[in-house]
Amino acid sequence: GQWRGSRNGICVKLHQVCRAQTPGGNRNDQILKTHSIFQSIRTSIPISMASNNSQPQGSSSPAKPGLRKPVFTKVDNLKPGTTGLTLVVKVLSSEIVLQKGRAASPNLRNVRISECLVGDETGTILFTARNDQVDLMKPGTCVIIRNGKIDMFKGSMRLAVDRWGRIEVTEPVTFEVKDDNNLSLVEYELVKVAE
């Protein structure tokens, strides 16, 4: 293999340089010489190139990794097992299905789960809201669901957001929700495929 040392775009094939200088030397000599060659290369790099704030040529601002623009998905395009979904939906209804714990007891964790019917102009689906998410999912509210996923519950799809996802309340939307296409009413069956 080749050992490579790199410093802000300067790439050196150290292994080949080392072999050229020590054709009959043993491996330890090669490693020591490789280290000293890399040290001399590293110290000979001009300060303007070695700084962490180096800028690409022709650029006036420091290079920063850009955020990806979200790709918004419509409800009727949701499929079982999909993750990383971003949707803009309107909350049609919200019903608490599980509430455990008491606020007076510090040892018990308060757990709330609510099933909310959400939708857009293409259809509706049940959203499973947990704990603090329940407070955001009030009927009539418009939300952006980021990093959503589809969970299967008793053979039907449920939209959910895990701890890496986010729900943001947004301004009211202009679309009319198509409530006659509820994807959570479609039953799926897990089929094992014979090889």
pLDDT digits (tens, 9 = 90+) for 78-132: 999 899 999 999 999 988 887 666 655 566 667 888 999 999 999 999 999 888 8
Q: Is the dihedral of CA 23, 29, 31, 34 positive or negative?
A: negative
- Give the structural domain span for 23: 4-49
> What DSSP letter does each residue of 73-92 carry, written as one string?
--GGG--TT-EEEEEEEEEE
Q: Judge whether 81 lies within some domain.
A: yes
CATH number at residue 79: 2.40.50.140
pLDDT at residue 162, as a whole number: 80
141 and 105 in a common domain: yes
Q: Each residue of 154-165: pLDDT tens digit?
A: 889 999 998 888
pLDDT at 11 over 70: no
3-class SS of residue 10: strand
Instruction: Decide: helix, strand or coil at residue 42.
Output: helix
Residues 36 and 80 in one domain: no
Q: Give the per-residue pLDDT at 5.
A: 46
Based on the domain organization, do 93 and 180 belong to the same domain? yes
Secondary structure of the chain: what % helix, strand, coil (to 5)?
20, 35, 40
Whether the predicted pLDDT of 45 surpasses 50 = no
C-alpha torsion sign, points 83, 141, 88, 94: positive
Q: How many domains would you assign to the chain?
A: 2
Q: What pLDDT band is residue 148 in, cutting at 50, 70 and 90? A: very high
Are residues 102 and 13 both part of a single domain?
no
Higher pLDDT, 67 or 188: 188
Structure tokens at 97: 């299905």
Q: Count of CB atoms within 10 A of residue 142's CB?
A: 18
SS3 5: strand
